[in-house]
Amino acid sequence: MTRPDFLAAAEGEPASRFYDIIVVGSGIAGLTAAVGAARHFKVALISKSVLRDTTTFLAQGGIAAALSEQDSPELHMEDTIRAGAGLCDEEAVRILVNEGPERVRELMEICPKFDRSGGDLVLASEGAHSVPRIAHAGGDATGSEVVSALAQAMRQGSRVQVLEHEFVVDLLTDGGRCVGTVSLNLRSGEFTLNFASAVVLATGGCGQVYSLTTNPAVATGDGMAMAFRAGATVSDMEFVQFHPTGLYSDESPIFLITEALRGEGAYLLNHAGERFMLGVHPQAELGPRDVVVKEMVRHMQGAGQEFLYLDATHLDCQMLRERFPNVYDTLRERGYDLCKDRIPVAPVCHYMIGGVKTDVWGRSTLPGLYASGEVSSTGVHGANRLASNSLLEGLVFSDRIVRDLDRYVASLGERARPSQVQLPQPRGDGNRPSQLAENRRRLQKTMTAEVGIVRRDAGLLRAIREINALSASLEPPGASLEEYELFNLLGIAGQIARAARLRHESRGSHLREDFPARDDAAWRRHINFSVRNKEDGGPAERGEPGGGNR
């Protein structure tokens, strides 16, 4: 019997739609999957907002790939594994760096606005890269240029039905495999059952679980949460990457100041005006993000301050304006002159390394369900993502998913027709908007304070208790976006906190004050969460260590 896990009861049976492939999410991973799958299949791309409202669209950093004669996939692999602090899956990394250059060249044919000088591609330096290998489009507007180009390619003569302002509430499962989704039209309030041979999750991360994040408001961990409910394994949830240079402010989302600015020579300064990264790492300000963030925290705590400074005043102003137009103009709107002022910055939640566990073809542990991009946990990032590998991951693994879809769909034979759909009984009127807003605020405040950059057991335990209390205070969800997002955030927050409490060491982006050392003997492994005996309604969750290689 086909059933969702989380759907509020609808009046009457929802309408049904039928596709070959459903892609959920419209960043670089989702658009790449949709464009590729549409060559052979009838595809639906579902986005809870509009195509440009994604983390990809906001990305200032570029795409890392071995594109120059001075570079090589082997060197890119060494840098990635070194940054990943012992937890990278080497097979996945090898695929990323070897297939990446060709995928980026294909993207350049679609998006002609990659930066060039005299006909040659301009490659920039970023943290923990041993050579310049970051390709940018439109200076510091790579994300928006790439999304716009891919969206245009998708709309031109493709077989993709684009469904914007439609929120995927849950996955449909039948006989132990994924057979579609349930979606809520945010304009009409109507539910729809969307059936397909396979579903590709490309829903991005969960930055909104924190009060201070660079992620857009749509980043509420929906894909991770629904995949877990449907029976897929999630992995490495304790590894949340904090970017060193978010503009210090109370806005949401926080404005990110691209790492490429430090690649051009900008300094990080403490309140005494000193370059504190000198002597800490051979690459100074361009060390791995976890190393830079850890040192920033030490200096902020020592000064009793919540921020430090980014200083580009010694660099050529004309270069700054031309190379970083978005950063320059945005800072000017906020009262800062990049050419003259030291800019207050602080580490801020930026990227979810963990997610839906997949193999190197993007296949989750639930047949018929694939995941790509930030929602996934492929193993390429280990415990700390190398700068600008995120867009590359979406390109490479979405392409591999498209190739595997031919095999998977062929293995099914004729398209399976759904059996009877079991819909839940009415659950009441849901929760008051004011309570939803307050619970979300409390959750974000708790996660920032207790499960943020530096963690300790007592704080993690407080966070788990608060998350449980917030969940218990709510009625089952009604039929509103705000309710579904909050329930998803609470589920993901609980997994982050529990995984962080289980890992008794500091590794990569996971820093434990009470376990400051890295412990390869005991903890060079992954922490996985999964539903046990889902079909029989057994225990809701289990955590287990995974092997060092996935």
Active site residue 289: yes
User: Treating both helix axes as pointing N-terminal to C-terminal, what angle do 28-37 and 389-411 enclose, rounded to 10 degrees?
Assistant: 30
DSSP 166: E
Give the H or E element holding residue 528: strand 526-530
Helix (H, G, I), strand (E, B) or coil at 527: strand
State the Cα–Cα distance between residues 364 and 200, nearest whole angstrom. Answer: 10
Residue type, 298: R
> E strands, 196-327, where?
198-201, 234-235, 240-247, 267-269, 308-311
State the Cα–Cα distance between residues 340 and 67, nearest whole angstrom. Answer: 34
188 Cβ contact list (under 8 Å, min separation 6): none
Alpha-helix runs per DSSP H in 414-545: 433-450, 457-472, 481-502, 520-523
173 strand-pairing partners: 3, 178
State the Cα–Cα distance between residues 356 and 333, nearest whole angstrom. Answer: 38
Task: Count how many Cα atoms sit within 13 Å of the Cα of residue 515 in the half-sphere of its side chain.
Answer: 21
Give the H or E element holding residue 328: helix 325-333
Residue type, 204: G
279 Cβ contact list (under 8 Å, min separation 6): none
First to last CA, the chain: 32
Contact between 357 and 377 (Cβ < 8 Å):
yes
Contacts 24+ apart (CB under 8 A), 520-524: 520/86, 524/86, 524/87, 524/548
Q: Which two tokens stand for residue 136?
A: 């940018």
Contact between 124 and 308 (Cβ < 8 Å):
no
174 strand-pairing partners: 177
Catalytic residue among 262, 289, 385, 501: 289
Q: Which phi-psi region, left, alpha or beta, contains residue 164 (left: φ > 0; alpha: ψ -120 to 50)?
A: beta
Strands 376-377 and 355-357: parallel
Catalytic residue positions? 289
